[in-house]
Structure 1
Amino acid sequence: MKPSNNRRLPVNASRLLESDAIDERKFVVALARGLDILRAFRPGETLLGNRDFVERTGLPKATVNRLAYTLATLGYMRFDEAAGKYALDTGVLSLGFALLAGADMLELARPHMRALAREIGAAVSLGCRDGLDMIYLETIRSETALTLGLAPGSRLSMLTSSMGRAYLAVQESAARAALLEELAREQGAERVEAAARAIDDYARDGCCYSFREWHDDVNAIAAPFRDVRNGRWLVLSSSGPASSMDEAYFRDIIGPKLKALAARLG
């Protein structure tokens, strides 16, 4: 099952420079733009051309040409002569493995996530923020039922996913307001209003929901916790087909178990 196509692109260097969130004296624009090129790839895509990079990053064609050539020379992308497009290469993979190898929380969480997925018959995922999106670090699918679950590295909308809403709910008010303002500029005030209501859900229930909002046949619930060792917020979520797992199942059955696991991990 594919997610809806309304997901946003990662925030790029140009938009960051327009905000007050960074110190321009310390910010290396060329490096940020190179990373924008790498982040233009979406889950399931293998080849992108310079036109794709221009559309997704907003960078000039000449800049894209130089950045793509540099990244290919360094081994982070490779150029497919037959297709006339670029693919990610092993340099990116090595960075990903380095991150996952050093993520102690993943090693701690996996057996608990596996046990919970088996118990509730739904997918259980762990994710964190990446720009204005959430990114999956791990997903455990249920072995006892047909469940949904995206692969590690998949991105989710911060506004329509339960994981993104849970992340927003635990941010300090000033930081959350700034983040919602940026999201409103990118995706529209209507979606922000729906996500902002999730803060009330968290205050009342200790978790956030996304019922048929991220995808027409996906229900999901999420609970955040603080990874003290790495100083960041992580989010546990569980998702399943809305056609067979209704809202009550997520609120009454999965919710308490997911919150208990988040509390243990945090």
Structure 2
Amino acid sequence: MAGRPKQDNSQVQGAAASLLNGLAVLEAFSVQNPVLGVTEVAQRVGLHKSTVSRILSGLTDAGYVQRDEETGRYRLGLGLLALSGPLLADLDVRRAAVPYLEQLTANTNETSAISVWNGAEAIVVEQVASPHQVKHTAWIGTRYNKFESSSVRVFLAELPPALAADLVDSGRILRAKDDGLPEDIATHLKEVAHQAYAVNDGLSAEEEFGVSAPVRDYRGKAVGCITVSAPRSRVQKEGVKDSLVQAAQQAASEISIRLGWSASLPG
């Protein structure tokens, strides 16, 4: 449940405990596991099946989950879209990015997305899919916490070196033993910050290429990052990777300017 800090439910009672349990049940669903039964949810959240069944029944009545009458299993309901709508509509960086993502995909014919940082993960909040049949896409709400991900390294490069290292050392940011990146995290992230982009060339998945560049607000703070993703097999031709890097940086710069960033600001 990476969307909010874990809490000890033994220290809360009544309505507060019920609320936390309800949120835990909702967070049990994911892109990888969109449909779950009562037993599966109970195992994920550590609650008794009867408790989970009551919670799911209430969430179904509220429209936040829906039950398949044939299988008895559950999936998230459309009521969550209404709940999150005001937040997404008011997320300035997402709203500002949409036309530039559309143009970026039109220019590159590859999938473009914008992510935000929650302290330990890059979360996709908008994307425009490639028109190609074979493409790389990510559901809105997809979370990335692998060091090899270009978006993760862009955000880590904005943090104090000690904090970035602690996120990796503690395991909150996952890192493969032989990912082909420099072992010295601080030096690598300093280079990412200096060049203002990071590349994932088959580091997190053999057939994946991605490049990310930071989006800054009027303070010069990185409030998001633009990512262009493509199958590696399609970017092997000379100059294609460089052109995707330039396109991602250009889009990120244009969105940043729209948010009030100036090249005279740090970053």
Tell me if the contact between 1:129 and 1:135 (Cα under 8 Å) persists in the aligned partners: yes
Structure 2 Cα separation of the partners of residues 175 and 74 of structure 1? 40
Aligned match of 2:150: 162
1:213 aligns with 2:203: yes
Aligned match of 1:5: none
Tell me if the contact between 2:113 and 2:227 (Cα under 8 Å) persists in the aligned partners: yes
What SS does the corresponding residue of 1:246 show, helix, strand or coil?
A: coil
Aligned match of 1:4: none
TM-superposition CA deviations, 1:49-104 (whole Å, max 9, x none) = 123224434x2335534443443343311333321222212221212322332234
Gaps of 5+ in 2: 257-267
Letter paired with 1:205: Q
Tell me if the contact between 1:125 and 1:238 (Cα under 8 Å) persists in the aligned partners: yes
What SS does the corresponding residue of 1:222 show, helix, strand or coil?
A: strand
Instruction: Decide whether aligned partners of structure 1 residues 169 and 65 sit closer, same or farther in structure 2, where only a CA change above 3 A counts.
Output: farther
2:177 aligned to 183, 190, 195, which one?
Answer: 190
Instruction: Decide whether aligned partners of structure 1 residues 100 and 48 sit closer, same or farther in structure 2, where only a CA change above 3 A counts.
Output: same
Letter paired with 1:112: Y
Aligned match of 1:263: 253
Structure 1 Cα separation of the partners of residues 6 and 88 of structure 2? 27
Aligned match of 2:243: 253
Structure 2 Cα separation of the partners of residues 113 and 106 of structure 1? 10
Structure 2 Cα separation of the partners of residues 77 and 131 of structure 1? 28
1:233 aligns with 2:223: yes
Instruction: Decide whether aligned partners of structure 1 residues 166 and 188 sit closer, same or farther in structure 2, where only a CA change above 3 A counts.
Output: closer
Structure 2 Cα separation of the partners of residues 47 and 226 of structure 1? 37
Alignment of 1:107-186 (within 5 A): 107-130=95-118, 132-143=120-131, 147-182=135-170, 184=171
Gaps of 5+ in 1: 1-9, 19-23
Aligned match of 2:6: 16
Tell me if the contact between 2:135 and 2:230 (Cα under 8 Å) persists in the aligned partners: yes
2:192 aligned to 183, 197, 202, which one?
Answer: 202
Aligned length: 246
Instruction: Decide whether aligned partners of structure 1 residues 107 and 46 sit closer, same or farther in structure 2, where only a CA change above 3 A counts.
Output: same
1:38 aligns with 2:26: yes
2:47 aligned to 50, 60, 63, which one?
Answer: 60
Tell me if the contact between 1:134 and 1:158 (Cα under 8 Å) persists in the aligned partners: no
The alpha carbon displacement at 1:259 in A equals: 1.8
What SS does the corresponding residue of 2:226 show, helix, strand or coil?
A: strand
The alpha carbon displacement at 1:223 in A equals: 1.0
What SS does the corresponding residue of 2:117 show, helix, strand or coil?
A: strand
TM-score (norm 1): 0.74
Q: Sequence identity, in percent?
A: 23
The alpha carbon displacement at 1:165 in A equals: 1.9
Tell me if the contact between 1:132 and 1:158 (Cα under 8 Å) persists in the aligned partners: no
Structure 2 Cα separation of the partners of residues 204 and 80 of structure 1? 51
Structure 1 Cα separation of the partners of residues 193 and 173 of structure 2? 26
Moved over 6 A (4+): none
TM-score (norm 2): 0.74
